[in-house]
A = this chain, B = another copy of it.
């Protein structure tokens, strides 16, 4: 497992992981991975993150069904950031717990964060 040793984990044993959608190249989200999360991601071909708030592995889509199928795993020049190229499950493709396509739906406009992307599905319908 040398490739896992190549990653520079931070003091908490984590690295940021960016999920980018294959095709659109949209940046869907950023979450965190520990060594086990990255190992499981590669073994299973689905994104597994480490939830800092819950302090446990988090198989993306475990509640929503909105899994991320991992097509490519990349590492940056400093070996401390992971980039996943994924197919986002959900109809339509929903990565965000708010029911939006991606998590970056707030845009800075004239000194305010404005919500600029639509909710595609009511979270109450996703997490029922």
Q: Which residues of A contact B (CB under 8 A)?
A: 1-3, 6, 16, 18, 20, 24-27, 29-30, 42, 72-79, 81, 83, 96-98, 100, 103-108, 111-113
Smallest CB-CB separation from A110: which chain B residue?
A: B3
State the number of copies, please.
2
Inter-subunit contact A76/B30 (CB<8 Å) = yes
Which B residues touch A29, using CB under 8 A? 76
Answer whether A104 and B74 are a contact pair too, CB < 8 Å, given A2-B111, A25-B24.
yes
With A and B bound together, what is the CA distance between A60 and B76 in angstroms? 17
Answer whether A16 and B30 are a contact pair too, CB < 8 Å, given A76-B103, A77-B97, A77-B98.
yes
- 13 pairs of residues in contact across A and B, judged by CB atoms under 8 Å: A1-B111, A2-B112, A3-B111, A24-B25, A30-B76, A30-B81, A42-B108, A73-B107, A75-B106, A76-B106, A77-B96, A78-B103, A81-B103
